[in-house]
Amino acid sequence: DRPEHSALRAAYLDGSVVVTPNPHVHAKFADKRNLTLLSDTAQLREWGFDPAIVDTLVAGIPATERVDKASAERLWAGRRQFFFKPAGGYGSKAAYRGDKLTKSVWAEILESDYVAQAYVRPSERIIRLDGETVKRKIDVRLYTYDGEPLVAAARLYQGQTTNMRTAGGGFAPVLLMAADDSPQDCDRCATGEA
């Protein structure tokens, strides 16, 4: 929508170019401002969502709110409880854990379009790296297409946000087990050879 992109916008609208990600799809599925609505119990109920769906959304999506000047003082005071993310960001770019924020970065956030999301501590897994046992944080993603799951993948990392630079980090397989399977059914998992 910025003036310097007017030629690209016109070309997109008349079908002369294909833009990826598709702006409509990005606005619908990737804009983090949507999380402010999807984690708002009162708003979802007002819209008439089925109570079971509301419960599922609120249980699975950390409480999220827009960052603005009116909420700045409260969010700064409680920053350790939040993760701050750019509304249109991806791949952890310019995302900050609240307890790591400096005042100068906070000033930049206030001048940008950000959301504050309740911080959820990542789970950890133990892996073997160069013969040693080490802990890595884990982020599990389910990739979908046309409403159907394609693949589940985990990202192993160290530090504040997911990254591909961590030794022993990067993508890792996710082993799906039936509800009646027990952990001992996977010998390779137990030995760390999976």
Assess whether 69 and 112 both reside in one domain.
Answer: yes
In this structure, is residue 108 part of a structural domain?
yes
Please enumerate in sequence order all residues whose Cβ is within 8 A of that of 86, keeping only pairs 6 or more positions apart, or say none. Answer: 32, 93, 94, 95, 112, 113, 114
Please enumerate in sequence order all residues whose Cβ is within 8 A of that of 51, keeping only pairs 6 or more positions apart, or say none. Answer: 45
Q: How far apart are CA 44 and CA 108, in angstroms?
A: 31
Q: What is the pLDDT of residue 36?
A: 96
Contact 8, 18 (CB under 8 A): no
Q: What is the pLDDT of residue 184?
A: 54
The domain tally of the chain equals: 2
The confidence band for 7, taking pLDDT boundaries of 50, 70 and 90, is: very high
Domain containing 134 equals 123-178
Assess whether 82 and 136 both reside in one domain.
Answer: no
Assess whether 114 and 76 both reside in one domain.
Answer: yes
In this structure, is residue 20 part of a structural domain?
no
Most confidently modeled range among 112-116, 129-133, 158-162, 178-182:
112-116
Q: Is the pLDDT of residue 185 over 60?
A: no
Over residues 17-49, the pLDDT tens digits come to 998 888 888 888 889 999 999 999 999 999 999
Q: What are residue 95's phi and psi, to 5 degrees?
A: -100, 140
Q: 51-65, 70-84, 152-166, 177-191: which range is least confident on average?
A: 177-191
Assess whether 137 and 113 both reside in one domain.
Answer: no
In this structure, is residue 145 part of a structural domain?
yes
Assess whether 88 and 41 both reside in one domain.
Answer: yes
What would the mean pLDDT of 122-143 be, rounded to a whole number?
90
In this structure, is residue 184 part of a structural domain?
no
Amino acid at the residue 45: R
Q: How far apart are CA 84 and CA 71, in angstroms?
A: 13
In this structure, is residue 148 part of a structural domain?
yes
Contact 30, 24 (CB under 8 A): no
Q: Tokens 């350790």 belong to which residue? A: 80
Choose one of 118, 139, 159: the last residue of a domain.
118
Assess whether 99 and 39 both reside in one domain.
Answer: yes
Q: Is the pLDDT of residue 187 over 70?
A: no
Over residues 40-97, the pLDDT tens digits come to 999 999 999 999 999 999 999 999 999 999 999 999 999 999 999 999 887 678 899 9
In this structure, is residue 25 part of a structural domain?
no
CATH code for the domain of 73: 3.30.1490
In terms of C-beta distances under 8 Å and separation of at least 24 residues, what long-range contacts does 142-151 make, across chains too?
none
Give me 138's structure tokens: 């884990």
What would the mean pLDDT of 182-192 be, rounded to a whole number?
53
In this structure, is residue 55 part of a structural domain?
yes
Give me 129's structure tokens: 């790296």
Residue 35 burial by Cβ neighbours in a 10 Å radius (0-12, 13-18, 19+)? buried
Share of the chain above pLDDT 70, in %: 92
Q: What is the pLDDT of residue 114?
A: 97
Q: What is the pLDDT of residue 194?
A: 46
